[in-house]
Amino acid sequence: MSNSIATRWRKLSGEKNWEGLLQPLDSDLRKYLIHYAQMTGAVGDIFNSNTDEPDASKEDFFSKACLVKGNPYKYDVTRFIYAGSDDVGSSWFGYVAVATGEGKRALGRRDVLVAWRGTSSTSEWLNDFNFIIQRSASDIFPTAKQHGATVHRGFHNLYTGTRPDSTHSKTSAREQVLEAVKELVNKYKDEEISITVTGFSLGAALATLTAMDIVANGYNKPTKGNPDKLFMVTAITFGGPRVGNTGLACLFDSLGDHLHLLRIKNNRDFVPTLPPGIFLYTEFGIKLIVDTYNSKFLKWRLFFGRSAALPDEHEHEDEPNRIDCLDENGPKRKRVRRDMSSLNEDDDEDEYGPQYKIVRGGMSEYYSCHNMEVYAHEVAIKDIGKNTPADKLDYSIILVNKHLDRVKNEYEIPPNWWTGENRKKMVQSENGRWVVV
């Protein structure tokens, strides 16, 4: 990020609901979003699904996540967040962190950060589908009944639930987060503070609830000193599903100018269209659309493991099976309230027609457009010059292959290199960039 981030952070955090910054995507905002994408991606990178714990301590979390070298936006983790419910086993889900002195100078304020991971275990997947009957949000939001606000039952249970038999989830994830935020707001109450909540997929839903909760219950103001002082709360989410009904959207709108939500959606990802509108779910916040098909760096894939190679602009001009990119929809500049009763990304071979050559790929690449690194890549290429080389992107294409085999073979980047034998082929330079050795 450039030094202008420090002076523009209020605009970049949505003070004016990102007016004039989304179309085309502001260059500082692009870097800003990639920063938070990496902060939430770190949760997935460090999570050990075999132990349900992080493979790091709070003290070495960011060094283990490889987010220290070349990165002036330093944070210290103050608390790990665990979540569990009657239906979901207790597991590590994220962290609360605060900008260090160095980070504060680079970011322009003391940023309190909450980051959530996406779905991992079988019980979490099943919980994601517990959406048909929504729950009242009155135990979270004081004015929920007034607005008729209801929330996805599975998300609600995971956010507010406990597991008395567990080590870490005797208190709810909600209580853990709010307590940690309260401590930091009181500690730094005399400074310029922002509260940023970010998450991917299921984590995006939890981030939305968290940001609303913080504002609705006054956790963005100190309990000592000047209780009338309010700090900005911004949720920046990636690939998030719908969280609740129109009443929840009304409640969101009622929470005032200190709450902002930017939802980044890959146009090829159907997860943000779920649960369907027929079940009375709706969208709210500001939406920024990115599109996997617009990348010249990636192998072209449909979900469910289907894949094909996406030619460059002048490649295979005489081939009848040439694949063309689809046009991108512009981002919404208003808070969106649309009920969508059908999925808009049923990628069916008949729908694409004979000009599309479909190649069956491996299930290890299952639905890779719903992937945190792919999302960060799509933000990096949005509205840049079409001839921009890979080494000039704000997010290295090497990172896309951390957990996938998605980058075109011509770039010679080892697949799935974050763990396993391929990690030995990767070295992080002092400037933070990765190289293949």
- Catalogue the active-site residues: 201, 269, 370
| Nearest one of 156, 33, 162 to 86, comparing CA atoms | 162
In the 3-class helix/strand/coil scheme, how is 53-118 assigned residue by residue?
EECCCCCCHHHHCCCCCCCCCCEEEEEEEEECCCCCCCEEEEEEEEECHHHHHHHCCEEEEEEECC
Largest CA distance in the chain: 71
Q: Are strands 75-83 and 91-99 parallel, antiparallel or unpaired?
A: antiparallel
DSSP 407: B
Q: Does the bond joining 272 to the residue before it have cis omega, within 30 degrees of 0?
A: no
> SS3 for 158?
helix
CA–CA separation, 92 vs 224, rounded Å?
31
285: left (phi over 0), alpha (psi -120 to 50) or beta: left
CA–CA separation, 211 vs 222, rounded Å?
16
Output the CA angle 332-338-341, nearest 5 degrees.
130
Task: Give the H/E segment covering residue 146.
Answer: helix 144-147
Output the CA angle 191-195-199, nearest 5 degrees.
155
Whether the CB-CB separation of 34 and 5 falls below 8 Å is answered with: no
Would you say the C-alpha torsion 61, 222, 205, 84 has a positive or negative sign? positive
What token pair was written down for 276? Answer: 């369907």
78: left (phi over 0), alpha (psi -120 to 50) or beta: alpha
